[in-house]
Amino acid sequence: MFESLTDRFDAIFTRLRGRGRLTEADVDEALREIRLALLQADVNLRVVRDFVSRVRAELVGMDLSQSLTPGQQVVKVVHDELRTILGGEALRLTYASRPPTVILLAGLQGSGKTTAAGKLASWFKRREGRNPMLVGADLQRPAAVEQLRVLGEQAGVPVFSEASDPVTVAKKGLAEAVRLGRDVLIVDTAGRLSIDAELMDEVRRISDTVEPHYTFLVIDAMTGQDAVSTAEAFHQTLELDGVILTKVDGDARGGAALSVKEVVGRPIVFSSNGEKQADFELFHPDRMADRILGMGDVLTLIEKAEAVADQAQQEEALARLQEGRFTLDDFLEQMQQMKKMGPLAGILGMMPGLPKEVRNADIDDSMLVPIEAIIRSMTPDERQNPSIINGSRRLRIARGSGTSTTEVNSLLERFKQMQTYMRQISTMPGIGRRMARAGAKSSSRKSNKKKRRGR
């Protein structure tokens, strides 16, 4: 979503890093370009003005850190301000002392609200160890309830609905959740093509009936600044607690994400970045600021890996990475894990230090098929030590994998580059510590889930 903005920032900061000392004129020039980049990303004008003003106030006359160059100092200030306008800290969800915790979803038609309801239920079950239930109170759109039932079945979550009016459905759904002992109730409401009095009245009455602990507005990231106007209107009626941003994997310019918190005063809580139910995650402003500035997102990458690999695999992979060892067997194993983690292009966008041309490459997951075939055609010794692969071995590998020697040569060359990159990753300051901390959190989370299941 932020690809264009990331490229603009990258160009601005590359010029700044090449200067040993920044003058006020240099700062003014950089801020003009940052302002233009944000406006072109469809960020709200008032948000842009406030952002640039705060960055200027931080930079002008400040004492430069001894550990940072002037260019790095600008990057740090911009990063901190980006994190602020994105929400500062990730929202920490708390649960009702008397279950269920009720979550009401609202939004316009086409925002991906029903899909988000299914993904949210899956997230509560998969990541939090909860027992959610879905209520289909969208009786306006044909097949909306059936869509929710399909999503609920995929997530292993029950769905309640009936042919009645939406308020009655929501009320009976809450009673059914209490009867079944469900600890999270997610209510999907109807949307419209645009905001109208009937829509607002219906969702307000549903809210008054179920008294939600959280009210989330589902916003399509592709709608840009229009999403902010929608959020303001719903907030006046419902007093929103946060926003769920959908279609983050699309080619939106990012204006909605960078504007909604500053204008409405409510944070983005979750983001949906793919078609699968697992492509749904808590929104972390600091991590998103890292991504926008091309710094990658190691922690989210680790969390995605945790979701598809067992603890022993994670510890073994971490040990190999920290020792700087990386073989074709490791490469093949990581490919298998990456296919489970989501679209390859999105995964690459989270990896720090990748060149711009790699980060923005048009990569399709089908490209992994011949690579996997080539590696599987190698002997164990060849995978451990690719340097022994001579001309005759390359020909044998190409025939065995149904590829050409050119493709084999290309893979070996790219693998060499990947080895260098992985060694660099293993020595980056703080990476090992952050990975270890994330692993500890994962172990604690799994332990807590087991305790809850035991009760």
pLDDT in tens, 44-53: 888 889 999 9
Q: For residue 454, is pLDDT > 50?
A: no
Banded model confidence at residue 64, pLDDT cuts 50, 70, 90: low
Residue 323 sits in the same domain as residue 248:
no
pLDDT, mean of residues 35-42? 86
Say whether both 214 and 356 belong to one domain. Answer: no
| pLDDT value of residue 315 | 66
Whether 187 maps to a domain, the answer reads: yes
Alpha carbon distance 115, 147 (integer Å):
8
| 276 domain residue, yes or no | yes
Q: Are residues 353 and 424 in the same domain?
A: yes
pLDDT at 29 over 80: yes
Q: Which residues contact 107 (CB under 8 A, 6 or more apart)?
A: 113, 191, 217, 218, 219, 230, 234
Q: Is residue 453 part of a domain?
A: no
Per-residue pLDDT averaged across 112-121, rounded? 93
Please report the pLDDT score of residue 67 as a whole number.
Answer: 45
Cα four-point dihedral sign 135, 139, 140, 146: positive
Q: Which CATH number belongs to the domain containing residue 408 in this structure?
A: 1.10.260.30
Bridge partners of residue 146, in order along the sequence:
none
**Is the Cβ–Cβ distance between 331 and 355 less than 8 Å?**
no
Contact assessment for residue 245 and residue 271, using Cβ atoms and an 8 Å cutoff: yes
- In this structure, is residue 422 part of a structural domain? yes
Report the C-alpha gap between 44 and 38 in whole angstroms. 9
Q: pLDDT class for 446, splitting at 50, 70, 90?
A: very low
In a domain, 16, yes or no: yes
Comparing 416 with 179, the larger pLDDT belongs to 179
pLDDT at 146: 94
Instruction: Supply the DSSP string of 114-132, one letter for each residue.
Output: HHHHHHHHHHHHHHH---E
**pLDDT at residue 85 is higher than 90:** no
Q: Is the pLDDT of residue 341 over 70?
A: no
| Least confident among 67-71, 268-272, 319-323 | 67-71
Residues 261 and 132 in one domain: yes
CA 116, 122, 125, 131 torsion-angle sign? positive
Tokens for 211, please give them: 């008294």
CATH number reported for the structural domain that contains residue 105 in this entry: 3.40.50.300
Ranges 80-89, 211-220, 323-332, 409-418, most confident: 211-220
Same domain for 287 and 305, yes or no, is no
Q: Which residue has the higher pLDDT, 418 or 271?
A: 271
- Are 322 and 261 in a shared domain? no
Q: How far is CA 276 from the centre of its chain?
A: 13
**Which residue range(s) make up the domain with 215?**
101-292
Helical H segments across 41-92, by residue range:
45-59, 70-85
451: in domain:
no
Residue-level pLDDT at 16: 75
| Integer Cα distance of 186 and 106 in angstroms | 11
Domain assignment of residue 96, yes or no:
no
When pLDDT is averaged across residues 250-275 and rounded to a whole number, the result is: 80
If pLDDT is split at 50, 70 and 90, which confidence band does 134 have? very high
Label the pairing between strands 132-137 and 268-272: unpaired
Query: What confidence category does residue 344 fall into, taking pLDDT thresholds of 50, 70 and 90?
Result: low
Q: What percent of the chain shows pLDDT beyond 70?
A: 74
Percent of the chain with pLDDT over 90: 30
| Mean of per-residue pLDDT scores for the chain | 80
Of 157 and 14, the structure prediction assigns the larger pLDDT to 157
Task: Find tokens 């097949």 and name the residue.
Answer: 143
pLDDT confidence tier of residue 449, bands split at 50, 70 and 90 = very low
Q: Which residue has the higher pLDDT, 323 or 141?
A: 141
Residue 288 has pLDDT above 70, yes or no: yes
Biggest alpha carbon–alpha carbon distance for the chain: 75
Domain containing residue 30: CATH number: 1.20.120.140
**Same domain (yes/no): 259, 388:** no
User: How many domains, the chain?
Assistant: 3
pLDDT digits (tens, 9 = 90+) for 299-317: 555 555 555 555 566 566 6
pLDDT in tens, 382-393: 998 898 999 999
- Residue that finishes a domain, picked among 234, 259, 292: 292
What pLDDT is recorded for position 306? 57
| Average pLDDT over every residue of 318-330 | 72
What lies within 8 Å, CB to CB, of 101 at 6+ separation is 95, 183, 184, 185, 213, 214
- Whether pLDDT at 194 is above 80: no
Asked if pLDDT for residue 70 goes beyond 80, the answer is: no
Judgement on whether residues 18 and 69 belong to the same structural domain of the protein? yes
Domain identity same for 115 and 177 = yes
Q: What is the mean pLDDT of residues 423-438?
A: 54
Same domain, 324 and 256: no
For the entire predicted model, the pTM comes to: 0.68
Contact 38, 256 (CB under 8 A): no
Co-location of 150 and 285 in the same domain: yes
pLDDT at 265: 85
Domain's final residue, options 292, 316, 342: 292
